Homo-oligomer: A and B are copies of this chain.
Amino acid sequence: MKLTDIDTPAALIDEAHMAANIARLQERLSAQGVRLRPHVKTSKCIEVARRQQQAGARGITVSTLKEAEQFFAAGFSDILYAVCISPEKLDRALALRRRGCALTILVDSVAAAQAVVAKGQSERHAFEVMIEIDSDGHRSGVQPEDPGLIAIGKLLHEGGAVVKGVLTHAGSSYELDTPEALRKLAEQERALCVRAAERLRAAGVPCPEVSVGSTPTALSAQNLTGVTEVRAGVYVFFDLVMANVGVCTPDDVALSVLTTVIGHQPEKGWAIVDAGWMAMSRDRGTQRQKTDYGYGAVCDADGRLIDGLLVSGANQEHGIVSRRDGQGDASIVQRFPIGTRLRILPNHACATGAQFPSYRLVTPAGASREWPRFQGW
C-alpha cells in the first residue's frame, strides 16, 4: 500500500525509527544490568509492546485497568499498574489476578493500603503491591523520610499483602533541557527510591524491587546501583517535547500524522491541512520549551523535515501550516498545492496517538499493516 492510498489524517509509525528507539534504551539498560519495563500507555498497542518484549523488555507498565485487561488478553501477564489504586477499583484488579494475571498495584497512602488489606482479607487474597515514592515533588507519592512510608509498608506486610517494592517517577524531568540537569535528577530519583527501600527493609518490611524511571532520566542515569527495573514510555516513539529536553532529535521521532493540504490563504502564507487538533491533540507541550513547534513540525510525505515550517494553529479538523518566523510565504500555493501530502511530527506522542483508533506501520517499501490501539478506561 502506498502512502497516497491512505485516508488522511492517519497516524504513521516509522518502523526503522521505532526499532532504533527500542534498541537504544534496551541496550543501555541491559549494559547497566537492570530490567526495562516499558510503559505501554504511550502506544496502547499490542504489536508495539511485542516489539519491546522481543528486544528484551521484561513485563509492562500500564496506566489504566483497561490497559491491563487488554494486554493480559493478548498474552502479557507481568503487569504493573503504576497509578495509585482507588478502593472501588480493587474488584476489577482482583478479577484480573484470579484469571492468572500477575498484576501489581500501587498505593501511596495509609488509607489506600488499609483498603487493599481489607479487600485482601475479605477475599482471602494476597495482593502484590508497590509503594509510590515522591522523588521530585511533581505529583504523587510518599516522601522517603516520611514516617508514613513505614506505616504503609507495615500495614501491607502485616495485613497479608505482598510488598513487592518501591516505585518512583521523576516526571519533572520533562521540564529540564540540559544533560547535567537530567543526570542530576536521575541520580536524585535513584537515590531517594533506594533510600525508601532501605528504610522499609530496616523496618522489617521486605522490599525486593526498586523501580524508577521516566524517558529523560532513563536515558541519562549514570548509576543505577540498587535499582532493579526502569520504566519508560515515550522513548518508543519520541516526540518534539523529548527533542527539546535533549534526549532525541526530531529525526528520531517514529510517530507522525499523515495529512493532506485542503486549502490556502495565499496572502497570509498559510496552507490549510486536514490535521487539526482532533488529529494532533491539543497538547502544546513545546510552548514553554526552547523551540515552540506550535501543533507540530512539518515534514514532506517521506518524513524529511521542512525547515522553518510548523503547524501554527489548529481547529478541530483544520491545521494551519505557516512559517515559524511569522513571515508570509508567497509561494505557499505552488509549493504545496491542494492534495499535497505532508507528515506532522507531534509535540507529545502519547497524546497524539490517543486521537487515533489505529496506527499504520511504514517501512521503506511504503505503508503496510494497520495496528489497532484502544481507547477508554
Q: Please tell me if A356 contacts chain B, counting CB pairs below 8 Å.
A: yes
Min C-beta distance of A60 to chain B, whole Å: 15
User: Which of B92, B140, B264, B377 touches A318 (beta carbons < 8 Å)?
Assistant: B140
The reply to whether B316 and A63 contact each other, CB–CB distance below 8 Å, is: yes
How many copies of this chain are found per oligomer? 2
Indicate the size class of the contact surface on chain A.
35 or more
The reply to whether B9 and A108 contact each other, CB–CB distance below 8 Å, is: no
By DSSP majority rule, is chain A's interface helix, strand, loop, or mixed? Answer: loop
Q: Mark A264-304, 1 if CB is under 8 A from B, else 0.
A: 11000000101001110111100000000000000000000
Q: How far apart are the CA atoms of A282 and B285 in the complex, in Å? A: 9
The reply to whether B315 and A171 contact each other, CB–CB distance below 8 Å, is: yes
User: Which of B92, B316, B338 touches A7 (beta carbons < 8 Å)?
Assistant: B92
Min C-beta distance of A210 to chain B, whole Å: 21
Q: Please tell me if A260 contacts chain B, counting CB pairs below 8 Å.
A: yes
Q: How far apart are the CA atoms of A96 and B231 in the complex, in Å? A: 47
The reply to whether A83 and B262 contact each other, CB–CB distance below 8 Å, is: yes
The reply to whether A315 and B357 contact each other, CB–CB distance below 8 Å, is: no
User: Which of B10, B115, B284, B375 touches A357 (beta carbons < 8 Å)?
Assistant: B375
Q: Please tell me if A162 contacts chain B, counting CB pairs below 8 Å.
A: no
- Which residues does A use to contact B, with CB under 8 Å? 4, 7-10, 41, 63-64, 83-89, 92, 108-109, 111-112, 115, 134, 139-140, 171, 260-265, 272, 274, 277-279, 281-284, 313, 315-318, 320, 337-339, 348, 350-351, 354-358, 375-377
- Other contacts beyond A139-B272, A277-B351: 15, CB < 8 A: A8-B377, A63-B317, A83-B317, A86-B262, A88-B339, A108-B263, A109-B338, A115-B338, A115-B339, A134-B265, A140-B318, A279-B377, A282-B348, A316-B350, A357-B376
